Structure 1
Amino acid sequence: GSFSADCANEYTLTFKVKVTDDSKVYYENQAKVVYKDRNHEDESDYTNYSNISAFGVKPVQPASVTDKLPDGLTYVGHTDQSGSVSAYNNVTNTVTWQWDDLPYGTTTVTVLVQVEPDSETEFVNKAEVDINGRASETNATYHEILDVTHVKTAHLNEGIANPGTETNPVKVRNNDYITYDILVDNPSPSGESGGFKPKAPRPSKIDFINGSFEQPVISTSSWIQNQSQVNGWFTRPTNPAHLGNPQSEMIEIQKPVSAGGAAGQFAAYAPDGNQYAELNAYVEGTLYQTVDTVPGTKVYWEFYHGARGYIAGNNTDKMNFYLRPEGATTGEPEAVAIDSYVAGSATYNWGHYTGSYVVPPGQTRTEFSFESVSTTSNNTAAGHYLDGIRLYTNSYIDLMKSNNSDGTVTNGEIVEYEIKAKNLGESDASGVVISDVLPAGTELATG
């Protein structure tokens, strides 16, 4: 069966196997998980894998990887995996990794470099791999400076991996970033490790705060203060003439007030939490927040928008929602929110808007903003209630697998596996299914 996995929650599964063929000496396997985002079940499944869990006696296999970076590239950083010890030598422009005992399967280490501003050359790169005294080279990757057409491909600036070829190198520009992935393949003697998969990359979390305007907590129905007093949020006026005017830097937070008596000048309830914001405090403007983003990441967004019943009759507020590079003040909106309210009505309706956005190449800072377009009252000091704003990435189920064996095993011995599944993403997961193919030489133990 399947189960749901809420954010930050951990789930533990256990099962036992019996050794049926102790001539194998070494046994290893890997668990797999398939799941969906609970709020986006119409989208494709996500798949991830656990670490490789092994028992028995594995031969010790010391290993090393050496990657001398081509001239014209500046070293930025590198990653370790599976217990490697690594170092960068700035004299030789070389990165080295060493393992006392390289695990079976595929181990991936990476190097991030930047194309130097004055480079005018082609970059051909290979790494040397040594496993237990057996040395070999990886394939070469090819990049060259782009002369005219600005194209970004090839695991370039967080893009899709593409090593290029000698006759068709990947085009790069000065100051572009290149990530070299070095995959060290070490299959087990039986060859069974060939089917093992690396863990899926974990999506970067969006450092977005105060989406329901619960900070600061207010004690009155309406509170207007300088933007510096409101966690995460900033405002700018629509009319450039208002720049520098203290009123253009104000943000308004409100508490719900029952409709009717207040003539609709407050929302009757907050859809998320106890407070909400009014976009236009004293002057018409844009409410925004800026966050770090990783190019290529799929980001989900949602918000609630409501109209202010400022005058008698049917009141309609129109607002643009943007996701765009930091500092941009133009572009196509991701959504146009149009919501109405009948002043004095006992019923208040919030519009709920959702969608997704893929961060463009090179965009490491993203602004999400709410721009006042119009209000029925035409009063620029009023209009547009906002609440329940979220900007987040998909769910991510991480699997950690272990067993209780302490060394050599014999026929009939029982080994217990434990799998811990934890949702490290920003969305709840549903339809979670975990599977595990038992290693050769074992069978499921009953009882």
Structure 2
Amino acid sequence: MRRKNLRAGLGGLTAISLLVLPVASVGAITGTAAAADPSPTACDGTVSLTNGGFEQPAIPDNTFRFVADSTVPGWETSETDRKIELWSSGYKGVPAAEGRQFAELNANEDSTLYQEVATTPGEVLRWRLDHRGRTGQDTMEVLIGAPGGSLASQGQLTDGKDAWGEHSGTYKVPEGQTTTRFGFRAVSTANGDPTTGNFLDGISFGTGPCLVTTKSVTNTDDHSPAQVGDVLEYTLDVRNGGGDRAVDVVLDDVVPKGSAYVPGSLKVVQGAGAGQRTDAAGDDSAELRGDAVRFRLGAGATAESGGSLQPEERAVVSFRVKVLTEAVGGTVDNTATTGYADPLHEGTLTVTSNTTVTPVGPAADLAVTKTAVDEQVAPGETARFTVTLKNNGPSDAEGVTVTDTVPAGLELVSGTTSTGSFDAATGIWAVGKLAAGATAELTVETRVNATGELTNHVVARSEDTPDPDLSNNEDDATVTSVTEPEPTPDPTVDPTPDPTVDPTPDPTVDPTPDPTVDPTPDPTVDPTPDPTVDPTPDPTVDPTPDPTVDPTPDPTVDPTPDPTVDPTPDPTVDPTVDPTVDPTPDPTTDPTTDPTTDPTTDPTTDPTTDPTPHPTTDPTGSPDPTPTSDPTHTPGPTHSPAPAPSDGGGGGGLASTGTTALVAGVAAVGCIAAGVLLRRSGRRSRRS
């Protein structure tokens, strides 16, 4: 906890209320200025103390030290032993007001602690400090004046042991005073010992705070000019060149046009809380805010507010961006701003850094695609590929080459280009210059020398123009080389030879074709199937051979045609069916055997009757001029002419005669048909 007590002194001993001055009244002290590069470049006329927080020399943590004033930058003491007492923050439970160290007034004897600065007569300077009691209420006095003369009191300051009190005031430099001493003297302590008590920290005397922000840029890819994709690192150095501390220090830097922020690159390089920062808001003293980065700087900086920078104290931060395509041919420009507050004045002061300018060279995004014209080929054939190259810009591409690499199994033969030239020996297509947005094409012919999948690779490059995207500079195309496939064996067929079959050729069979047989198809025979004939097998016919029929030819029958029989059909016999005869059976006639007929007299049922026609019988019905009896035929003992019908009409004799004649006619027709067949068979035999 800090108690704030503002006082003003104008060289006298009377304490008066602080005179609040407009920022403009302190001129260069405030750091406000018309825009410069940076603004300001320096803090002119600055008056300030050195080592106002007693941070030097550094002493161990949780202890105190008596050190010679010659080792404490800026400060002197009137003690005869020239000792200054320093405490580290936290020693005996007392924290520092700022930083990690503070001082105790009067090390070993009652004395004055002071520092001298160069001043300009007539100027108004301000002072401020933090004061605290050690064991209770301690009182001290602020003294300002010319060295060697009497020092004017700026008032007495009293504070307890539980908190730091903050005090400030102003001082107008008298005429002729070019050096001013600013000092302190103990008035009283809670325990009565002037050498114990009256802690001091955060002392300033001089002009107001004045921040100067300096920016620099480094191309981490070491290209000049920068190329698309290069990473630029910006470093910002914020220094307090004024005479008083700056508070609530916040730096903002908009990511420059033509670039993109590199995630995770926020870093405090030097100063309070040095180290990496996250991009998220609310977890530390820096974050990415939309398209800008923000750092809260100085001692005591948090996720919500900036910290403080003492006179001559600095904070250094950095972040990175990547150059984008839109910056090609132009520049990436960046300027930062730093806002802060003067403890003695309301409002926020803003300064700008210098502007860094990074030129960006040309860039051309080459994209290549490769396709196989012939996706399936065979060894010995030609496989063709098409290579298409496009310049996506934004700049023209210079020195463009495309390298076509074929695998083992393919041999480059030739290439045809729309621009440039192709060397089949090296596989290099020299394109040369390719304008932004233009397309070029190459057709490559290769010879296939192997089977399998054969992949052809192509790479595009520009020797003179940077390519911002190399992901589309290579491509592949594959062809498949195959031979005629072998027939797939039928899995249902056992390829094992039948062991019961002798594979030896029959030595009695002459395999030589018959030279007398002309194998040429008969040109007069139309091999086209008859469209009127349905080749579908009759489903009502069982194709299974009759197991009761022996297919073996009768060895007693000579199949040789009778050479004495003329197979030529009798030209006097008309084979045409008599159209006047109705083949339909008489529906009035019962084909069933007449039950009144004696079956013993029916030659078709009489077992004693030989149904075979008599060989001497003329089938035409003419009487045989030389009738003879069949010596093999013996009539049955009961054989007799059939009795006449009971009506006595003589019909029985006529019926018998008609039947005999019908049987004889059928036999004759059978003989004629047999003769015709024999003649045709003989002809076939002679033709074969």
- What's the TM-score bracket when you normalise by the shorter of the two chains? 0.3 to 0.5
Q: Find the structure with the greater CA-based Rg.
A: 2
- Greater relative contact order (Cα < 8 A, sep 6+): 1
More strand by share: 1
